[in-house]
Structure 1
């Protein structure tokens, strides 16, 4: 055994790495069952003059700027990142004096979850790299347990790799980007760089750079995302960007030998990296006796002011200087600097906007002001109509109007969030522009006759204690007496009411056929052949006298069923669509409540995609058709009915297949009706765990909850498995988590149903369909497409959205840890309790 081998053996078994600033060689690897403690140990902790501290674990290379990884902090050092950083080393392989150069972080595992002193990093026996805080709380993990990991390696390129016994990569930091790219690193389609909140705060913020099929796109998170920089090629699908010495290259696929496009960068003579800065700039830094900025990619295209946060929210940029919007029509101050010493931090409204007082909204007009992005919400309009549209929409924060030579034929943009504004230089922009920011009228400007204070609600009321007690006792006695009387009347009228309900059904126009209980008893041979059970009862197969095969849903005797049975028969019975299971008739005979549906010969979708009870798996053509059928059914419910109908329980068990494998939605037992003038409703949580959208945690829902569930169903159809499989290894049980990992690593093909050779042979098309699922699974509901848009994508007339967020896994929803929702907090709006066959 050589001296180096002896050292390495000693190093990887120690509880914390052996490290001194004069170590004679690098130590870039570690084996399983190794742990490192973030302790204040003098032999491996170095403090730098810029206030940063590192505790190195692995070091690669000697003499010059080299990559290392370990614990990093800056400032008060109460919290730390596990990070990869570039440090200056000497010819002996040790890190040079702290006064010569500062460490530069180029990747971190836990930017949004820093750890404290005495936290632990461990490469476990099972091959998982785990970061735990001092109290044992899990801060970060590679989730690679039981994946044949053999060791850990920091490469010459700064890539932290977990490898197996064949030296193949199991996990690598290059696939999990933060805010930097280093030479040799790729940014694949669907992956992002995300800037930190500020130069002193490592928490990831709202600005991100995405690689898409169309090229590089930089945006700031809002609803929807607002784009400020684009670089790419039209009519060509790009695959990834790669940082090499002298350029940032864009490629169409992994076999391409030369880039299709490139952004030139000053060639490096030393270590170099690209960083997406907190203010939106994409900068190149190089080691030149210290870190120096050598280029700014975006400024060459955008100038000084065309960035979303150059002057913070609501700030105005003019020649690089920041100020707040001011009114030219009155003396009121509507905005103030957040920090007078730092104008670039932006401006806050003196009186915050509130929808509760929307009639006291007005506009602060900024002539010849413009915005870094523009998407026309209204075309061929004028400024007055633009402002009127904004006033009618409480979420609108400004009316941005642009036009050419005719001010009556312009375009209107109504953003829901405002970032930095700027002066419009018409000689460069070649258009006229006006921004009208919505503001709240100050109290001094509100007419005296209007009282908005909380005290106005009780003004003029008397509340002597004696009066309160006297009236309270009287009310109590009266309430008891009335309650007894109401109960007696209710008992006498109960039977009469049921008879009236039955008669009322016969008078409703367009109603499906009404059956007696005896009719259904005969049709089902005394409810002999049970098809399934769920929702509010059981389903039985039957045949009508004319030979029509039916499925009869027997609703259990429940209060909720009785309460809404009439409304649901009237509503669902009057809608018809080829992709909805048809309601043939109903039975309302005394206590019997039954729904009669068309019989679907091939049963529910679940047994065809992961039941494995069929001889031949569904081929790609049929699966694609089923996905389109589901989309058409949902689009009809959401957009073509008199009231929006939100199904709320989209899952394979509620999708039925006829003899030709046409898919139809069933089981509207949890559905909810929403008036067209409502954008969202509050309701108690309902649906099936695993298919619930993240917004269910707030109980405020829109039709987009169905879109999210549809995204889950797409994945299950394509992958041929349930969204949660207990039989799978722990790291693969949750389909969403597995899908996110595979997608970010570009391993889409690994997810395709392995039981179908036909699916495997159509891998490219299946992957494109997976991207539709990603769009439907966006964490924020407004970023998901409408179902009519999905149909356009599936029919090939529209492309999938460019900037997609792959952080769509909601831990509470994914792991079924769903909080109870008090029904008293819900707003009942036309509840629907019709239950169809499963």
Structure 2
């Protein structure tokens, strides 16, 4: 066979680079401009010296949504016309990054100019954060988990969403800010091209206009202490879209740029500078021996890589097949395992899943009939609760029994179907009975019923924390997970996020989980014990007493956050103001209600060591013990503090803005 030419050998290199890149855990972020006007997106790394995350790359490939050529531009910023996509390749562990759209820009051929919003020292390729106002996509990669959010702390200029590519790995939903705040911006904070956030210099959630920003974009950070943070397993790809449609759904197919006629590679954010584009130089003639060596080495490397990839794919397929076979046996071997249903049985029992009772983070719940018993069937979404959470719920509820824990009748694990079958609770979840909404015609609960519900919740948690072989932290205590029977007896449900804790271990370090608004302050460091449930219990008690949500953006600025409001009322001796105004019976028992509030405040101590055990809470509720009188009346972590293993607050470098920094 004739020797391959030098240029043909060199043409192998892009292919080899693509194969090597495929084996990495790099993250791809596609930045799409769906605005009717041009924007100038910028991306910087946030860290020492505010270094540019793109500083080692000299050009990027732009894929227009419609047919067209590629437009290489300088690193760190570019012009993005309507319908174009800018593809960024972020290597694993690339620290923190910010992406934002600049508007009203004008640049000369050498990349100097200015922008109306988000301007960074008049440079096209930004090496510093943009000047407010600007809507910012914040991103942080880690070894096991990515954290991301949309921040309006510096104001607003362009609607945006920041969504993961679904269907690849377990992932929480992404943040969206599809509202055009600029058009509705109050004139006091309106500026050319955007809307200033006056809360950028404060950590108070009650600062002026924070409620306005939160109502318009509930998924976004509006003040530094906001906990609107989202997480994915490391290696997920993302889509940042400027001016998204209100019903935009991102799919893997939609995320992929259209094919181009020639093989192009998007440079990695950590790759060395690419050679500048210019006149082609004549290369010196290479001898046939050198060409043969290059061809031999290149072919050997290529064959080795292809063989490795093929071997990996075959191994993974074998593992998946083996895993599927073992899955049938996995749940059958559980000690005291509940009844196992087929998917066909549950389809018939629920009449094709027609009577929907509610919807949660992991799936939907349907009413069904099995024999003479009414049942509730939770059908888990494929992109929601994973095998780990499903297994946790089956094993946990299947092996424990208590009058104040919902009873798991059975489950279904058939192919991709994951379903849980519970006893049916006729009165539904507690939130229906305590939140006074315009669409809620449920009668107001009297004081005696509310006391009974609070006591039942405490007894259920006390059993989990102290009476099981292993301590069980529920980690998602909220009214939506408290179910009521015909007589308003309360039972804890939804154990998909629970964590088993050995009794000889003082704490467990785990990934962030739970529901914003009920998270204990120690989630700042993810060093938690079952005491996190006690803080959530305190929030629920205050919601039951006041008849409102902890976070209610429909209220006045100073009343949005119930627990912050509690701090103010106890300081001035006005706790009676928090009693549910829709219940005359509650005000008749005013002193008893205030004593219940004091129990809630004991549970809401920032230092987890100062909170009571749930067995002590039960004793107080049954009149066998008094509430602790020496308590701290600060219940919300208003500074970026971390909590050491002893539960003491210690000063530290503030965590990144995307970390949970207090209850919402």
- Normalized against structure 1, the TM-score is what? 0.40
Which of 589, 604, 621 is matched with 2:414 structurally?
589
Which of 521, 528, 531 is matched with 1:694 structurally?
521
Deviation at 1:138, TM superposition (A): 6.0
Deviation at 1:812, TM superposition (A): 7.2
Which of 569, 594, 605 is matched with 2:430 structurally?
605
Deviation at 1:700, TM superposition (A): 0.8
1:726 aligns with 2:535: no
Q: Which has the larger radius of gyration?
A: 1
Within-5 A mapping of 1:284-683: 484-544=310-370, 546-558=371-383, 561-612=386-437, 613-683=440-510
Supply the RMSD in Å over aligned alpha carbons: 3.2
Mapped partners of 1:762, 1:526: distance in 2: 47
Q: Report if the CA contact (8 A) 1:697-1:819 is conserved.
A: no
Deviation at 1:513, TM superposition (A): 0.4
Deviation at 1:650, TM superposition (A): 0.8
Residue of structure 2 equivalent to 1:712: 539
Q: 1:516 to 1:622 in 2, by over 3 A?
A: same
Deviation at 1:821, TM superposition (A): 5.5
Q: 1:818 to 1:665 in 2, by over 3 A?
A: farther
Q: What whole-Å deviation, never above 9, does each CA across 1:136-168 have from its counterpart, x for those lacking one? A: 9569999999xxxxxxxxxxxxxxxxxxxxxxx
Q: 1:559 to 1:137 in 2, by over 3 A?
A: closer
Q: Report if the CA contact (8 A) 1:626-1:662 is conserved.
A: yes
Q: Report if the CA contact (8 A) 1:711-1:774 is conserved.
A: yes
Mapped partners of 1:137, 1:820: distance in 2: 17
Q: 1:728 to 1:543 in 2, by over 3 A?
A: same
Task: Give the secondary structure class of the aligned counterpart of 2:488.
Answer: coil
Q: 1:633 to 1:808 in 2, by over 3 A?
A: same
Mapped partners of 1:749, 1:723: distance in 2: 17
Task: Give the secondary structure class of the aligned counterpart of 1:668.
Answer: coil
Task: Give the secondary structure class of the aligned counterpart of 1:552.
Answer: strand
Q: 1:535 to 1:559 in 2, by over 3 A?
A: closer
Q: 1:694 to 1:564 in 2, by over 3 A?
A: closer
Q: 1:560 to 1:530 in 2, by over 3 A?
A: closer
Q: What whole-Å deviation, never above 9, does each CA across 1:641-682 have from its counterpart, x for those lacking one? A: 122111111111111111110011111222212111111111
Mapped partners of 1:683, 1:141: distance in 2: 27
- Normalized against structure 2, the TM-score is what? 0.50
Deviation at 1:558, TM superposition (A): 3.8
Q: Report if the CA contact (8 A) 2:405-2:460 is conserved.
A: yes
Q: 1:783 to 1:475 in 2, by over 3 A?
A: farther
Q: What whole-Å deviation, never above 9, does each CA across 1:542-597 have from its counterpart, x for those lacking one? A: 010x2111111111224861245335422321111111111110001111110001
Q: Which runs of 5+ in 1 are unaligned?
A: 1-134, 146-473, 823-838
Q: Report if the CA contact (8 A) 1:535-1:669 is conserved.
A: no
Q: 1:798 to 1:480 in 2, by over 3 A?
A: farther
Q: Report if the CA contact (8 A) 2:465-2:473 is conserved.
A: yes
Q: What is the count of residue pairs matched by the alignment?
A: 357
Task: Give the secondary structure class of the aligned counterpart of 1:573.
Answer: helix
Mapped partners of 1:480, 1:505: distance in 2: 38
Q: Report if the CA contact (8 A) 1:812-1:818 is conserved.
A: no
Deviation at 1:688, TM superposition (A): 1.3
Q: 1:745 to 1:522 in 2, by over 3 A?
A: same
Mapped partners of 2:482, 2:617: distance in 1: 18
Q: 1:480 to 1:581 in 2, by over 3 A?
A: farther
Residue of structure 2 equivalent to 1:456: none
Q: 1:706 to 1:819 in 2, by over 3 A?
A: farther
Structure with larger RCO (C-alpha < 8 A, sep 6+): 2
Q: 1:652 to 1:568 in 2, by over 3 A?
A: closer
Mapped partners of 1:689, 1:142: distance in 2: 17
Mapped partners of 1:793, 1:566: distance in 2: 35
Residue of structure 2 equivalent to 1:165: none
Mapped partners of 1:621, 1:479: distance in 2: 71
Say which is worse superposed, 728-737 or 714-723, in terms of deviation. Answer: 728-737
Mapped partners of 2:556, 2:596: distance in 1: 26
1:781 aligns with 2:608: yes
Which of 579, 591, 598 is matched with 1:752 structurally?
579
Mapped partners of 2:639, 2:304: distance in 1: 47
Deviation at 1:741, TM superposition (A): 1.2
Mapped partners of 1:611, 1:652: distance in 2: 13
Q: 1:804 to 1:591 in 2, by over 3 A?
A: same
Task: Give the secondary structure class of the aligned counterpart of 2:399.
Answer: coil
Mapped partners of 2:542, 2:396: distance in 1: 31
Task: Give the secondary structure class of the aligned counterpart of 1:758.
Answer: helix
Deviation at 1:733, TM superposition (A): 1.5
Mapped partners of 1:668, 1:496: distance in 2: 28
Task: Give the secondary structure class of the aligned counterpart of 2:377.
Answer: strand
Q: 1:479 to 1:805 in 2, by over 3 A?
A: farther
Deviation at 1:749, TM superposition (A): 1.3
